[in-house]
Each structure stands twice: as C-alpha cells, then as structure tokens.
Chain A
Amino acid sequence: MAKVWVYAEVHEGNLDPAALELLTKARDLGDAEAVVLGSGASDAAAKLGEYGAAVVHASDDAVYDDFIAQPHAHALHELIGQNNPDLIMFANNYDSRDIAGRLSAKTGSTLMGNATDILSVDKAQTSIFGGTQLVDVELEGSPRLVLVRPKSFEPSAAAAAGTVQQVSVEIPEDAKKAKRVERHEEQASGPKLDAAPVVVSGGRGLQEAGNFKLLEELASEIGNAAVGATRAVVDAGWVPYAMQIGQTGITVKPGVYIAVGISGATQHMVGMKGAKKIIAINKDEEAPIFSIADLGVVGDALKILPQLIEEVRNRKG
C-alpha cells in the first residue's frame, strides 16, 4: 500500500477543516497519515484519527506558529527522510502553499498546485478556463507533492488509530527569519462565508463601495445568508479581503449563490461554481456568469436590488 500523508494546518490551536477533506481522500489512496505542526497539534491528532489517520506526526512547538514556512519545510524534509511517504497532500491555503513551495526545492519533486481531485497516487486532476476543461497531470518525484483546493472532497469520518508520533526536529536558526509579531482578525457578522447556505456576492457592477450595503440588506432579509465579493472589488478596497471568493480567497458551495454585478472571471468562478443554484444579475448579456447561471437577469443591479429586497420581504410575509 502506498503511504499517503496529509499536511494539516493548525491556526491558534484550531485544526483547518480542509485536512479532514484530504484525509477522506487519502484513505482511498493508501495508508493515510497526517503531519500537524504548531500549538494544538497533539489535540488535533484525535480528530485526524477519526478521519482516518493511522499515525499523526505532531509537534506543539511554538516555533511553527511564530515563523513562516521555513521551519515547517525543514521538519517535513526530515520526516520524509525518516518515513518515505509516496505522496503528500496539502490544502491550497496560504501557509501550506508557502511550505509546499519550499519543500519542492528541497526534494526536487514537482509540486502540482490547484488540484481538484486526486485520481491515484501518481495522478491528479485540475480544472482550467473557469472549470470548463479538466486536466489530468502525472505526478513525479519522491514524494509526490500536491496542493488540493479546499472543498474538493466531502469529509467523512472513518476511525483509525491516530497514534501520535512526536516530531522532534531541531529547527536551525537560519530557518527562523520571518516572524509573526502581531495577529489581526477581521470580524465578520452573520454566518461564515464558507458555511452559509446562501451567499450574496458583489462585483464591479455595483459601481461603488457604498452600494455593498444593499447586498447586506438583501442577505439579512433572506436570513442565514453571507455576503461575498470578487477580487476586483477587494483590490479596489471596497470590502475586506476576508470576503473574497475565488481562486485566491474562499471557495464556497452554498445552496444558492446570488452574483450581483459580477462578470464571471475565471478567478472568481473556480471559487463558486460548486453552488447548487446560481442566480446572476448583470447588465452585460454577454457576461460569462450567465453561462453557468440557473437564473439570469440582464439589467441594472442598482435598480433590481431594492426591488428584490422588497419582494423577499413580501414573500416571507
């Protein structure tokens, strides 16, 4: 059996749920094990075991919380030497992307990014052009390294031993060069964007930052809805980055996705095309978003939004 590792992120003691998605897949591919580094790692081991990790290589050392990427890549490289995994899966998140990039240089393995499926221990799949084409890629190297987009697999529990093996790798001083000295969280109100059953999302078509309050009104009228945004309006500084949906940003799979004034750039579509139902409002009838929408309305978002808020209120009566 192939030895398949999942690199699990912990943030302020909390396990990144994407690790459970990856473990669910890793179980199908071979003997699943997990690596988790940083405060809360040992506590996370139990959960990782519940999702199929027979062994959890863990260290609670704060060096992994304080310093970026270098200690993790160093430790992983040591662990690879001791254990010879065949494949390591990472979630396509900020920290993992950095760590996997460095590890690729150390091992000489080609790192595949943005995978949406793992077909076998040596083959993974990604989608391009806004998800219209699927590309199967052969993985090379020892171990093979893949970054998988979050929400590619539905997590399901299947208990394994979850035996903790303490990682005791000495981290050299020259791997402690980029240090986190302050942490700031942006608080969002309402349900979490990546878990909300309805997402109302806005793009350039809203014309100015102030009009985002119409989306917030609509979301609160619908209830249990979260507000998201495209990269274009986040870059323009209209809304915080935490609201960004897409390739960089959050992947969402809500029951209903309402795209307002969003043309449908590839970068955005890969983050939302998994929605069960998509509604699009845009004034350009040629906008790519209409090609994936279940209901499309060609018109002025600023005119339609107040009417829609009213209509929703009436129907809820």
Chain B
Amino acid sequence: MKRYLPIILFLVLFISLLQSLFQDEMDIPSPLIGKNMPSFSLKRLGENTTITDQDLLGEVALINVWATWCVGCKEEHELLLSLAEEPSINLSIIGINWKDQDQLAIRWLDELGNPYQEILSDPIGNTAIDFGVYGAPESFLIDRDGFIRYKHIGPLTLSVWINEIQPLIKELKQ
C-alpha cells in the first residue's frame, strides 16, 4: 500500500490544480457576504492621515481593490472612471491600493485618471486579507450600515454593472 501513496497524493494535487483551472471564479460565494466589513485603519494614499471603516458608514460604497501591477485593473479602469463621472449614479467609489508602492500608484492615477473618492494604501495586504481578497482586482459593495452585500472577483464589466450591481444599489438606496 505504501508504494501507492505517492501516486495517490499526486492525484489529489493534480485534480485540485485541474479544478482550479476550470473553476468559474464569478461563482465562488464569499463567506463574508452579509457580514460586517472587517475593521481597518489605513493611511490615505500618499498622505499621512488615516481612514477607518467607520468613516465609510452612512453611504453605499463600492470598495475596489487594485494595484498598478495588475493588468485586470487597467481593464476596468475606464468603467470606474465613467461611473465616477456620471452624476446620476452618485456612488462613492473607494480604492484600496493593494501590495503596491505609493509613488507608483500616484503616477498611475495621474496618467489614467482617478475615479476614487478615497484611496487607502494597504502595502502589506493585511486589510485585503481580512476582506478575503486573493487577487486583484476585486470589488465589494457595502451598504450604509457597513455590511458587505456583494463581491465581484476580476475586472468589472459593463454587463456586471448593469445586471448585478446597479439593481442592488437601487435596492440598497431605498
């Protein structure tokens, strides 16, 4: 039996890797949905002031985890910009700059435009871990009381916005 142990272990690993290839990332339920957002206290990007989770309460907010090294973040950037610029939407978009260097992030926003009302800097990634983030970009919709209502993994697209996020925001704002 002992001689079959390596191949059995290998099969377990192989099947997990295979499954991870096929896993539809959009469908992973986040254990955090419906729960209070984790508490944090982070520096504002490029500044010495801090902001905590308490400061975000009172308004529906889209928290977007991004980094300059992430290709998907560039993809969704246009959409975020147009959301921020459209007055009828009136959504506060909060960025968490994840595992990044402040100077790179500032340059990135200077070049591409800044859709964020607030940008928190999370260079070590502790807050992102509390949010259950395991890749960038990821976005969370937070209601007025600070509960996580929705999570999207990967770049935001127009269809995700129209079909999933917008209706939810309408519901939350009522």
A-B interaction: no
